[in-house]
Amino acid sequence: MDTFGLLANGLAAAMQWQNLIYAFIGVTLGTAVGVLPGIGPALTVALLLPVTYRLDPAGSLIMFAGIYYGGMYGGSTTSILLNTPGESASIVTALEGNKMARKGRGGPALATAAIGSFVAGLIATLALAFVAPWVVRIAIAFGPADYFALMVLAFITVSAAFGDSPLRGITALFIGLGLGVIGIDLQTGQARLSFGIPDLLDGIEVTTLAVALFAIGETLAIAATSANVKDEVIAVKGSIWMTLEDWKRSWPAWLRGGFIGFPIGAMPAGGAEIGTFFSYAAERRLTKHPEEFGEGAIEGVAGPEAANNASAAGTLVPLLTLGLPTSATAAIMLAGFQQFGLQPGPLLFTSNASLVWALIASLLVANFMLLVLNLPLIGLWVRLLTIPKPWLYSGILLFATLGTLGANGAMSGSLGPIRFSFELMMLLGFGILGYVLRRFGYPIAPVVIGLILGPLAEQQLRRALAISQGDPVVLVHSPLAIGLYIVAAAAVLVPLYLRLRGKGEVLRQLAADED
Amino acid sequence: MNKLLLAALVSSAIAVPAYAADYTIMAPAAPGGGWDQTARSMQQALTEEGISSNVQVTNVPGAGGTIGLAQFATQENGNPNALIVGGYVMVGAILTNASPVSLENVTPIARLIGESDVIVVPANSELQTMDDLVAKLKAEPGAVSWAGGSAGGVDHIAAGLIAKAVGVDPTQVNYIAYSGGGEALAAVLGGQVTVGISGYGEFESQIAAGELRALAVTGSDQVEGIPTLKESGVDVNVENWRMVAAAPGITEEQKASITADIEKMANSDTWKSILETNGWTDMYMAGDEFKAQLESDIESTTAVLKDVGLVQ
């Protein structure tokens, strides 16, 4: 049977009414839990795994898919409305999304996120169905040196999130890189900069840093400004739906996000957040409204959200074709497969074709269900912003604190007889850092990006050099790496060249005017 | 209405059998990992077999389980309802992290399950047998890159033991650590490294599909016809295992009661079918036998980690 026939069979299985109900329950639970910071999709799926033991395989896979997508969308909702990114993949969404929400455009921001997730999820799921075996070959060909080249490219494109001053951007990035060094070094097993504190052995949790810098830092900044300053948050301005202009600006971003996110997610060491960085950088370069970036550009929400969702479907490529879980959620899904006696791997597509296609079809169904559930809820969500500011910010503080305690509430710190949660102290400490950065005009995002990319880049560089026994030539030995460096060089040089030429033209123009 | 509710609560409280202990099992790892799966499987088996009416699983991830272990040892002292899952990786992590808390600070109950490591090469590798690998390792130790799990873990320990057994300086082992066997798998498949060494389950489906060639397993028994290291002339026997421990400071009676519950669970049909679906090997061992085995594992691990230079 050809791929279309298999997919149609899978869809027929997934569209049975009880499976649709499972998808609906999954999406509802996922969204509800995803909105709470601290409990990510991985923990939700882990908690619900025993429930699905009682369902048939197709039903439980569909519920998984629903929870997964719902959890991710729930995270975006809080990022946009409250500036509290619950997972690293929605940090970029918060950049533009929250600015939009403050200008009364929370409705379109949530809509473009939901529809973008759907569009990109569709692209990625179809890509999963048709090209997974080929994509995985390319993904595997990526060696440590190639990953390092990819990280170099990421570092360069990250400058898109720097704001107006490159020096301040780089300073912020280096704070993040510095924080990234903390913890046990993977290659040697030795602790670095942990000062004998066990809680620092595993490094600094990205979500703790992100929530602290974004949400706590901002709350402090608001509290520090005079109460007489006029409230700038406008709950709803204009329609809560997307205008024609919004659609026009969103759809190319959705498509680009989908095509950027899927291959990144498929890479065994990719990470969903890297796709969102690339997407944001691409949108910022390509936009016709560069002045809106940093002030609430809809492309800056549409692209990264699409990339995030496509990347989630992308992680299923190594999972299904290699049995390789590249995220915590994928690892739990792997456990779920094994429950039904399935061993994901190269033989899965031939030995358990019907179930694999049921899963792929259920991703499509869950994706659609997400849209059905969430579009009508947007009107309700944006009302959150009509809450008076003191209440809203105290609510944000409460949720940020609860989320951190939920993720790691261990009372592991102690000061004499007083026990406290170390994670919470870090949250508050970084919140103060976030306030200071804001106060002196430093951008926030590069700090978080540095914490994410720094350790990845370091590990890949050291692996590459260890395998080559110290020979640096290995870094430029593969065509993939060379290609990535060329793209990186172009990303630096082309705008520089254009600016120089532009200046030249201006000068000529001036000279011509003088004549 | 309220009275009805109260009555319902009271009757449900009475309905809980008095002999059944409530357990809280700590998985000192993130959801989805091996320890988490073990803890959640125990939860399933203990409740379905009616050994315990209420079992909760908590996750305290980090640093090879030592963060969870430290928290468990300090906060659960004397609590007969608290259990923690651990394993061989923890033995190594305690040493490399210079953890202030060790397995001596808890009450080990039983070893539950285990898994042999397997040494694999990509299908197109020039290495056909363990002998080829040993020859290459002897000729140029640094040119053999080993991909496996985190530094100081069982995969790294096995690689160090192999080098030592064939007369190669263990500090010369070019071990490339990945955050898990899965990521290491991608590196092996892509031909980025010479050999892969990790749990059999990580590589199982690739070996079956002919994408990877298994050279040897590190345990005492053959797996799917793959020879053991001893059969290949390398005198090494190391297996990854997972265990369950109770809190420190519990009485002998409490320890005996927990051991009885765990033994009942380990012999149950539910547990056996869980092992079957997950592909885990039953390595149940309790009491003094387990105590002696644990001590010998800690001793040999300390020695090899000193040899590879991870522990001073």
Inform me whether the pLDDT recorded for B10 exceeds 90: no
Q: Tell if the CB–CB gap between A201 and B206 is shorter than 8 Å.
A: no
Shortest CA distance to A386 belongs to which of A242, A219, A237, A215? A237
Chain B residues whose CB is inside 8 A of the A344 CB are 205
Q: Where in chain B is the domain with CATH 3.40.190.150?
A: 21-114+240-307
What's the pLDDT at B15?
42
> Which residue has better confidence, A50 or B154?
B154
What's the pLDDT at A161?
63
* A245 to chain B, closest Cα gap in Å: 43
Residue A97 lies inside a defined structural domain of this protein: yes
Cross-chain CB nearest to A143 (options B59, B190, B205) = B190
The residue of chain B nearest to residue A322, with distances taken between CA atoms, is: B206
The CA-CA-CA angle for residues A8, A14, A18, to 5°, reads 150
A478 near B CB under 8 A: no
One DSSP character per residue, A222-246 reads HHHS-TTSPP--BSB-S-SSPPHHH
Superfamily of domain B21-114+240-307: Bordetella uptake gene, domain 1 (3.40.190.150)
* B288 to chain A, closest Cα gap in Å: 31
> Which residue has better confidence, A408 or B184?
B184
* Residue range B226-258, pLDDT digits in tens: 999 999 999 988 888 888 888 888 888 888 888
CA distance linking residue A491 with residue A465, whole number of Å: 26
Q: Tell if the CB–CB gap between A332 and B59 is shorter than 8 Å.
A: no
Shortest CA distance to B54 belongs to which of B22, B25, B14, B9? B22
Q: Tell if the CB–CB gap between B182 and A186 is shorter than 8 Å.
A: no
Chain A residues whose CB is inside 8 A of the B206 CB are 322-323, 345-346
Cβ partners under 8 Å of residue A7, min gap 6? A129, A357, A360, A361
Q: Tell if the CB–CB gap between A345 and B43 is shorter than 8 Å.
A: no
What's the pLDDT at B7?
47
Q: What is the pLDDT along chain A (515 residues), one digit of tens a residue?
A: 567 777 787 778 777 888 888 888 888 888 877 776 556 666 666 666 666 666 777 777 778 778 878 877 887 888 888 887 766 777 888 888 888 888 888 888 888 988 888 888 888 888 887 887 777 777 778 888 988 988 888 887 776 666 677 788 889 999 999 999 998 888 887 888 888 787 788 788 887 888 888 888 888 888 887 665 555 555 566 667 788 888 888 888 999 999 888 888 887 765 667 888 888 888 888 888 878 887 888 888 999 989 988 888 888 887 777 766 767 677 777 767 766 666 666 667 666 777 777 778 888 888 888 888 888 888 877 777 777 777 878 887 887 787 777 766 666 676 767 777 888 899 999 999 999 998 898 888 888 888 888 888 898 899 999 998 888 888 888 888 898 898 888 877 776 776 677 655 555 555 555 44
The residue of chain A nearest to residue B192, with distances taken between CA atoms, is: A143
Q: Indicate if ipTM > 0.90.
A: no
CA distance linking residue A39 with residue A33, whole number of Å: 7
CA distance linking residue B297 with residue B288, whole number of Å: 14
A463 near B CB under 8 A: yes
Q: Is the alpha carbon torsion for A55, A57, A59, A62 positive or negative? A: positive
What's the pLDDT at B5?
47
Q: Tell if the CB–CB gap between A49 and B211 is shorter than 8 Å.
A: no
Cross-chain CB nearest to B62 (options A201, A338, A344) = A201
Contact A394, A81 (CB under 8 A): no
A226 near B CB under 8 A: no
Number of H helices, E strands in chain B: 11, 10
Question: Within 13 Å, how many C-alpha atoms sit on residue B208's CB side?
Answer: 17
B79 alpha-carbon distance from chain centroid: 24
Residue A489 lies inside a defined structural domain of this protein: no
Q: Tell if the CB–CB gap between A329 and B32 is shorter than 8 Å.
A: yes
Widest CA span in chain A: 85
What's the pLDDT at B9?
44
A481 near B CB under 8 A: no
Residue A216 lies inside a defined structural domain of this protein: yes
Give how many domains chain A has, as a whole number: 1
* Residue range B286-307, pLDDT digits in tens: 888 888 888 888 888 888 888 8
Residue A255 lies inside a defined structural domain of this protein: yes
A467 near B CB under 8 A: yes
Instruction: Cite the beta strand spans of A80-222 per DSSP E.
Output: 183-184, 191-192
What's the pLDDT at A48?
65
Cross-chain CB nearest to A201 (options B43, B63, B152) = B63
DSSP single-letter state for residue B106: S
CA distance linking residue B5 with residue B1, whole number of Å: 6
What's the pLDDT at B120?
94
Residue A294 lies inside a defined structural domain of this protein: yes
CB atoms within 10 A of CB A178: 14
- CATH architecture of the domain B115-217 equals 3-Layer(aba) Sandwich (3.40)
Cross-chain CB nearest to B192 (options A143, A343, A410) = A143
Inform me whether the pLDDT recorded for B223 exceeds 80: yes
Chain B residues whose CB is inside 8 A of the A191 CB are 97-98
* B57 to chain A, closest Cα gap in Å: 9
Range of the domain at A469: 3-477
What's the pLDDT at A273?
77
Chain A residues whose CB is inside 8 A of the B178 CB are 186
Mean per-residue pLDDT of chain B = 82
A95 near B CB under 8 A: no
pTM beyond 0.80: no
* A486 to chain B, closest Cα gap in Å: 22
Q: Tell if the CB–CB gap between B97 and A341 is shorter than 8 Å.
A: no
Question: Within 13 Å, how many C-alpha atoms sit on residue B216's CB side?
Answer: 25
Chain A residues whose CB is inside 8 A of the B36 CB are 46
- The structure tokens 């496509």 sit at A310
